[in-house]
């Protein structure tokens, strides 16, 4: 993460850890970092360790990677389609578009796959 997103590394949040109550105490540093940076969202697929009832009072919403990517696709459609089209070209074996969408669904991204489905013509070009 630090190689590509150095500014995503958070420090100085340790004093918030004790105030965070979660089912898995090992996740408290994540919520503490979110509090420290005034983050509105925690993006994770580890949903069971971050119950809404624990995060809502902190002003933090839990979002799955699939929800986040589908939302980005909806809000930034042209840019998102270009990124996904470019990403597909880097695959060693380039699957057909239906196979690619099935793969996204199988890997836990059904909302993203459904959002991409209407854009067959755009994604198939290049």
Domain ranges, residue 31: 6-63
Give the integer Cα–Cα distance in Å for 111 and 54: 25
Q: Specify whether 71 is located in the same domain as 30.
A: no
Q: Specify whether 71 is located in the same domain as 120.
A: yes
pLDDT tens-digit map of 36-50: 999 999 999 988 888
Whether 70 maps to a domain, the answer reads yes
Q: Taking the model in full, what pTM does it have?
A: 0.81
The total of other beta-carbon atoms located within 10 Å of residue 85's CB is: 15
Q: Specify whether 70 is located in the same domain as 119.
A: yes
Confidence class for position 103, pLDDT limits 50, 70, 90: very high
Give the integer Cα–Cα distance in Å for 7 and 27: 20
The total of other beta-carbon atoms located within 10 Å of residue 51's CB is: 13
pLDDT tens-digit map of 61-102: 999 999 999 999 999 999 999 999 988 888 888 888 899 999
Q: Specify whether 19 is located in the same domain as 46.
A: yes
Longest dimension (CA), the chain: 52
Whether 1 maps to a domain, the answer reads no
Number of domains making up the chain:
2
């Amino acid at each position: 993460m630090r190689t590509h997103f150095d500014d995503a590394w958070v420090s100085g949040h340790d004093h918030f850890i004790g105030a965070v109550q979660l089912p898995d105490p090992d996740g408290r540093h994540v919520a503490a970092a979110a509090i420290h940076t005034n983050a509105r969202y925690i993006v994770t697929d580890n949903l069971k360790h971050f119950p809404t009832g624990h995060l809502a009072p902190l002003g933090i919403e839990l979002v799955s990677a699939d929800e986040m990517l589908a939302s980005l696709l909806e809000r930034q459609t042209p840019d998102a389609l270009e990124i996904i089209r470019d990403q597909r070209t880097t695959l060693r074996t380039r699957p057909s578009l239906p196979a690619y969408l099935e793969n996204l669904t199988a890997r836990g991204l059904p909302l993203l796959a459904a959002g991409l489905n209407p854009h067959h013509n755009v994604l198939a070009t290049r």
